[in-house]
Amino acid sequence: MATDSTLIKLMILFVMDKMEVPLEEDVLTELCTSDHNWMNYMDCKDAICDLEDVGFLHRRNVSNKIIYNITPDGRMCLANFYTRIPISMREEITNAVKSHRMDYRRRQEYRSDYFKNNDGTYTVILKIMQMDSDLPLVELRMVVESRENAAFIHKNWQNRAGAVYGSLCDTLLDG
């Protein structure tokens, strides 16, 4: 686990560069801390704030979530100093990102929730979000009879949203 503040900042920039997409703050911190134990949570949060303060990360609020992008200055800093990240750590980060990039994207882009209605049924809300927008590409609302069904749909949305979207497009655009 990294403890040097400069190394931690470079590792965060390296992760952002390898992911190639903006990341929600929660996804970035989980990726670097609990998912891979590259650094501790407080060091990660401090480093993200510091990187934002110096202009290496850009912060935006989208759909009540904080999203970070690496800036051109952040990429330049990384290009000049990435060799300070041990090669074994660069390889570990690169492999982790390659293996799990789509999982992290799904966590950000595929959203679901459910709630109980007055009549005892449940409404499930399923969304595929545009990465840089508050607007969903698709939003579905389904009413189901039981909490178990709602929970099952909610749980499966992460893995099935892309296929559902593709099927909807194929069905609706089939002339």
CATH number of the domain that residue 50 is part of: 1.10.10.10
Which residues, 6 or more positions from 37, have their beta carbon under 8 angstroms from its beta carbon? 1
Instruction: Give me the pLDDT at residue 64, please.
Output: 75
Q: pTM of the predicted model, to two decimals?
A: 0.72
pLDDT digits (tens, 9 = 90+) for 95-127: 998 888 777 777 778 889 999 999 999 999 999
Pairing of strands 57-62, 136-144: unpaired
Contact present, 60 and 67 (Cβ < 8 Å): yes
Are residue 117 and residue 161 in the same domain, yes or no?
Answer: yes
Considering only the C-alpha atoms of the chain, give the largest distance between any 2 of them, rounded to a whole number of Å: 61
Residues 151 and 71 in one domain: no
Do 102 and 21 fall into the same domain?
Answer: yes
Domain endpoint, select from 90, 108, 126: 108
Same domain, 17 and 95: yes
Residues in the chain predicted with pLDDT less than 50, given as ranges, are: none
125 in helix, strand or coil? strand
Report the pLDDT value the prediction gives residue 98, as an integer from 0 to 100: 87
Distance (Å, rounded) from C-alpha 59 to C-alpha 70?
9
Distance between CA atoms of 21 and 92, rounded to whole angstroms? 19
Shared domain check, 141 and 124: yes
DSSP state of 33: T
Residues 91 and 44 in one domain: yes
**Cα separation of 94 and 134, whole Å?**
29
Segments forming the whole domain that contains residue 128 = 109-173
Q: What is the CA radius of gyration of the chain?
A: 19
